[in-house]
């Protein structure tokens, strides 16, 4: 009794099948890669980043401070995964700015309303109004958004650091 097709057991037959069905093999690889990416958990953001899960939370987050940096991301997006820890560190560096993250698959309407077409997209809001954005994970461009809008490097309230070594005071 045979449990597996010979093509899956014998490397020569598998290679022959791939050569005969190239496009199908490519589609299978893409589907497997997407499944693998979706199954990996999103890396922790850390810092003071607020995850928004509803329209109400979105409206509240935009009113927390004058400047709000929003990270529109998806869990399946590799650059978004790379950006998450960086955004967490920025949130500690720019204490007067509110940092928000929005999963576009969870709240699709927000990404449509804000014109998000590529991921990750970083949008900067002042007093609830979008003033600038950058697309893609480019650390210098993200930091430029903040400095261009007048954000200054200062730790968050209650996050005392010493100037000599940059470590948290105990």
Tokens matching residue 104: 């576009």
**H helix or E strand, kind and range, residue 18:** helix 11-20
- Annotated catalytic residue: which of 77, 90, 100, 110? 77
Is 10 in the active site? no
Is 77 in the active site? yes
- Annotated catalytic residue: which of 74, 80, 102, 119? 80
Q: Among residues 78, 79, 120, which one has the least CA distance to residue 100?
A: 120
Which ranges in 21-170 belong to alpha helices (H)? 22-39, 55-62, 78-93, 108-113, 139-148
Distance of alpha carbon 108 from alpha carbon 105, whole angstroms: 5
Angle, vertex CA 131, rays to CA 126 and CA 135, nearest 5: 120
Could you give the residue numbers annotated as active site? Answer: 77, 80
């Amino acid at each position: 009794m045979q449990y597996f097709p010979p093509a899956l057991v014998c490397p020569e037959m598998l290679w022959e099948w791939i050569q005969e069905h190239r496009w199908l093999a490519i589609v299978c690889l893409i589907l497997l890669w997407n499944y693998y990416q979706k199954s990996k958990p999103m890396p922790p953001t850390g810092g003071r980043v607020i995850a928004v899960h509803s329209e109400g939370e979105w409206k509240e987050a935009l009113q927390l401070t004058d400047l709000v940096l929003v990270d529109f991301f998806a869990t399946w997006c590799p650059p978004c995964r790379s950006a998450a820890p960086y955004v967490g560190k920025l949130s500690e560096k720019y204490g007067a700015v509110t940092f928000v993250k929005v999963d576009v698959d969870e709240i699709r309407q927000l990404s449509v309303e804000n014109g998000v077409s590529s991921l990750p997209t970083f949008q900067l809001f002042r007093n609830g109004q979008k003033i600038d954005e950058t697309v893609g994970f480019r650390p210098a461009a993200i930091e430029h958004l903040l400095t261009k809008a007048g954000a200054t490097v200062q730790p968050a309230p209650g996050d005392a650091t010493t100037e000599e070594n940059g470590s948290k005071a105990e």
